[in-house]
Amino acid sequence: MELVNIEKLLEKYLNAETTIAEEKELKNYFLNGDVAPHLEEYSALFEYFSISKNEQYTKPIQLNSQKRNWKWLSVAASIVLLISVYTGYDNIQHRKAEKVYEQTMAHLQLLSKNLNKGNEAIAQLQHFEDTTNKIFKQPKQK
């Protein structure tokens, strides 16, 4: 009767369905020494578990902790920030200068256009004066 019970518990154990009390019962059975011949292969498994339970790792564990020097990282970040601010400022000044140049060119073109209109008007007046002088033939004053 006990052998049938052990076989059922062993099947539950292999399916991972046993409780801790049932596992203790299996452990006691297989470590007892009176194991059925067809279950002998499982006794090595339970012996290994009982032996390995008492093993301890005795060597000291060396952890290689790498301290990073964060001061250099902050210095490098500051330098990068300063360079980016300088180039950004320079870029902004360049854009402002281009905008002012474009505005100046637009104003100068407007002024040139108006001066050309004035020159055309003066040229017409000169032509008118030459024509009137021919018509009236005014003597030249000495």
Q: What is the pLDDT of residues 40-92, one digit of tens each?
A: 888 888 888 888 888 888 888 887 777 777 788 888 889 999 998 888 888 89
Cα dist from 106 to 2, 55, 97, 113, whole Å: 108, 90, 14, 11
Quick one: which of 34, 71, 29, 59 has its CA closest to 46?
29
Helix 40-53 and helix 20-32: axis angle, to 10°? 110
Percent with pLDDT over 90 in the chain? 18
Cα–Cα distances (Å) from 113 to 21, 30, 127, in that order, read 106, 112, 21
Asked if 127 and 133 count as a contact pair (C-beta separation under 8 A), the reply is: no
Nearest to 28 by CA among 13, 7, 11, 43: 43
Nearest residue to 13 via CA among 53, 38, 35, 45: 45
Structural domain spans, the chain:
2-49, 78-142
Region of residue 55 (left: phi > 0; alpha: psi -120 to 50; beta: else): beta
pTM score, two decimals?
Answer: 0.40
